[in-house]
Every structure is written in C-alpha cells, then in structure tokens.
Amino acid sequence: MGPGLDESSMGGSTTGVGDGDGDTGLVLPDEESTGVEPGEASRDGDGESGGSTGGSFDDSTGDDDAGESSSSTGEVLDSTTGHDVVLSVHDLVPGDLVVTEVMWNPHCLGDDCEWIEILNTTESTVNLLDLYVQDSDYNAGNQGRVTVDLLVESGQVVVVARSTGTWPYLFAADAVYGPNPGLNNGSPDRVVLRNAAEILDETSSFDLDGEEGVAWSLSATHFDAASNDASAHWCDATTELEAGFYPEYGTPGALNPAC
C-alpha cells in the first residue's frame, strides 16, 4: 500500500479546520488565518505523525511542547488541549472497534480479495497499525496483521483486505492484512480483531448460507461490538458494488443501512 491510499481514506482535514474555528471567538479574521498553519492541517490529514508537524503548535502556544509526544507507532498526544490524540491498537479495549461488514465469499480467484470493514467507536482517531485479524480458530499462527499506519477517524470505517493481487473492485482497500486467515465459504467462520493483549471485537459466526459476492452487513441500528455477536443483527448487503465482471453487493467504506 502506498501512502496515497492512506491519504484518500482520511477524507481531508476536518479536525484541523475545526480546531481553528474553535478559536475564532476572540480572534480577528487575519489573526486566525495566521494561526492555522499548513503543517497543522497536514498532520490531521495525512497520518504522518513525525516531528516535522509539531512546530506548528509550538509556535502558537509556546509551552505546549512538554505536553506533546509522538512515537513511531503514530501516536500523538497533546495533554494540554486533549485534541489530536491518535490512539494505537495497544491503547484500545474491547468495543473500541466493531466489525461492520464482511465479504468472505467474493468472486476473485482463490478468494484473495476478501475484505473486512471496521468501525472506530472511540472519540479519537485510531491508528490500526499492528491490528491482528483472526478467524474462528483464534490461531496466532494463522493470523493477519495490518503493517502500515492506517488512521480511522472517530465514527468512521475503513476496509482491510486479504490481498489486492486480484482486486476486482473499483474502491481501494485501505490496507492489507495478508493471506491468512482465509474465511470459510462453506462452513461456519467468524472475524476476530485483536491487539497483542486481547480480543477487541469478534463477529457472530457466519451462519447464513451466503451467496457468492454478497457481503454480510451489520445493521446500522446495531453498530456496537456486543450486538454484532448476534447473527440476527446482520443481513445480506443489497447495494450493488462494481466488481469487475460480476455483480457484487456491499457498502465498503460507507456506513451500512439498517437491515
């Protein structure tokens, strides 16, 4: 995955703009414009959390430096403002992520293009670097892993794929987790997300006899990690998806409709 995919998945710099607006009450328009520097928007939008972006905050606040730290995992903390915190998967607890859609039986060769949609239910942006994907055998020897910085804004979804080698879709996956696990088509399976310490979310077993190319979609009325344990809260997707020569169905990267 190139960095371009990460940029497109982030959908811009709304957080940065919001921060600027929040200060406008006591600031004249031209003072405001000088206070929002390009570097600030860049940090929110591109997922690159290196030291080059810290300066824009330091310039305006002077003493915020001690309260801000960054690490190679993409974590950025500002204890002064409480904003712009990016949680790593190591910071997450069960329920912070929700599997909202699963394509376990796509048309592509060898089911290489299986994909999973994940919702961030926290109040912060989350970096899914080092998120593990397992299935019903809960086997660390047969698990996938997100190996790139993958930022998900609060309340937003991203799509991770098994591989993009035979990718038939017009939408781009946000990251790849690798060849394992392959999700079963003809026998019960499930998606399990975890960090190094614990399971963050798992789905109900896929007990529907799903049609090829039809994603399993969690109802928008039950977007939480407990509700997706019940197959009654899932249904076959009905939104047509452009996928090469075959019609497929799903809403990858977009919030699901109610079932």
Would you say 73 or 239 has its CB closer to Ca ion? 239
Would you say 36 or 118 has its CB closer to Ca ion? 118
Would you say 44 or 117 has its CB closer to Ca ion? 117
The b-or-e profile of 91-130 (16+ CB within 10 A means b, else e) is: bbeeebbbbbbbbbbbbbeebbbbbbbbbbbbebbbbbbb
In angstroms, what is the minimal distance from the CB of 21 to Ca ion?
30
In angstroms, what is the minimal distance from the CB of 98 to Ca ion?
7
In angstroms, what is the minimal distance from the CB of 227 to Ca ion?
8
Q: Phi first, then psi: what are they for 32, rounded to 5°?
A: -60, -40
Write out the residues near Ca ion by the rule CB under 5 A: 101, 104, 111, 117, 183, 185, 201, 225, 228-229, 251, 256
In angstroms, what is the minimal distance from the CB of 105 to Ca ion?
5
Q: Name 127's bridge partners.
A: 88, 151
Would you say 53 or 256 has its CB closer to Ca ion? 256
In angstroms, what is the minimal distance from the CB of 82 to Ca ion?
28
Would you say 56 or 134 has its CB closer to Ca ion? 134
